[in-house]
Amino acid sequence: MLDEGLRSELQKQGVYTTTLEELYNWGRANSVWPLTFGLACCAIEMMAASMARFDLARFGAEVFRPSPRQADLMIVAGTVTKKMAPLVVRLYNQMPEPKYVIAMGACAISGGPFKQGYNVLKGIDRYLPVDVMIPGCPPRPEALIHAIMTLQEKIRNQKLTGPDRPRHLNAEVAGEFPVPVCGEHDLEPSKNMEVWQPPVLKR
Amino acid sequence: MMETPQNSYWVPVLLAAVAVAFALGPLALAWAWARFFSPQKPGRDKNATYECGLESKGDAWISFRSEYYLYAIIFLVFDVETIFLLPFAVSFGGLSAGAFLAMVIFLLLLVEGLVWGWRKGVLTWK
């Protein structure tokens, strides 16, 4: 491993050095292909973000793929109803690794204005490992762009080997997440305890 | 370019070798990457047929009933009739007797198809 001082000194002389890890992360961070997947009004902002005014293409994320087979990023844009939640999880399972999730808007992160509703999931993070959450109702396209930049930052800092390497590089960690089924009163299970723990009240 | 004709054959051989390496290189790289870093994780959902998140039901190799061609034909009769009747109706005042007669014959031909379908019992809903 080259130390930073030598590296910057070499760079001044016009010699650029890199590591396989950096090269890999650089390529991955700049080609995040989202899934064409809108659930509610946040999807309108998502579309606006990919259009000319906000131009998501500047970040290499304009290639919205209509099939999970070709997508890296799932932008959960909108209200996740309990009827839709199993489909969202199944679509995520069908995406190839490495894959990321952005929960966009108040509904996707917590249920938002419909939190008290009987039919709305109170945050997709109960079933999926969400990387970035965007608050707002709906968030502006700039907020989505910021979320993608945050995700890119996260990807750039991932390790290729070692115990804290991401899930897709670890053979022991399962690639699929359990799909909930519609039960009599609620989804069963109502949460995936591996990715979401109910908050502990401290009095 | 080359001194002797024997030597010149090395150029296409070299090009072919580069072409093969160009095709096999990325494949080998992808295989090595999966082998040493990124393990494959197939699963029930991942290997399932993609159906917009729903579980696919039944077989993809279903056969459509061949009788549906009748619906196509009857649809065509009305479709073509509509397309031609509109300009016919617009320019009706300025048409000569010959043009009118031609249109009527054309319509009769189409109606004949409808009558054929009717007598065949296509129009009754089953």
Look up the ipTM and state it. 0.75
Which residues in chain A are closer than 8 Å to B56, comparing Cβ atoms?
none
| B38 neighbourhood in chain A, CB within 8 Å | 97-98, 168-169
| Domain contains A106 | yes
- Domain for residue A16, yes or no? no
C-alpha distances in angstroms, B112 versus A43, A45, B100, B124?
Answer: 52, 55, 18, 18
Domain of residue A40 covers 31-157+181-188
pLDDT at B7: 65
Tokens of B119: 């007598």
Containing H/E element for B22?
helix B10-36
CB contact under 8 A, B41 and A168: yes
Angstrom distance (rounded) from CA A115 to CA A106: 9
Measured between CA atoms, the residue of chain A closest to residue B42 is A175
pLDDT in tens, B43-94: 888 888 888 888 888 887 888 888 788 888 888 888 988 898 999 999 988 8
Residue from A99, A155, A176 whose CB has the most chain B CBs within 10 Å, to mutate: A176
- pLDDT of B11-53, one tens digit each? 899 999 999 999 999 999 989 988 888 888 888 888 888 888 8
Q: Which residues of B touch A86 (CB under 8 A)?
A: 53
Task: Write phi, then psi, for A50 (nearest 5 degrees).
Answer: -90, -5
A179–B41 C-beta distance less than 8 A: no
Q: What is the pLDDT of residue B4?
A: 56
Read off the pTM.
0.76
For chain A, how many structural domains are there in total?
A: 1
| Residue A58 in domain | yes
Dihedral sign from CA coordinates of B35, B36, B38, B43: positive
Helix (H) or strand (E) run with residue B97 in it: helix B97-120
Contact between B106 and B84 under an 8 Å Cβ cutoff? The reply is yes
Distance from CA of A15 to the nearest CA of B (A): 26
Q: Would A83 be classed as within a structural domain?
A: yes
Cβ of residue A68 closer than 8 Å to a chain B Cβ: yes
Contact A88 B37 (CB under 8 A): no
- Chain B residues inside the 8 Å CB shell of A96: 46
Q: How far is CA B100 from CA A98, B95, B114, in A?
A: 69, 6, 21
Q: What CATH code is carried by the domain that includes residue A59?
A: 3.40.50.12280
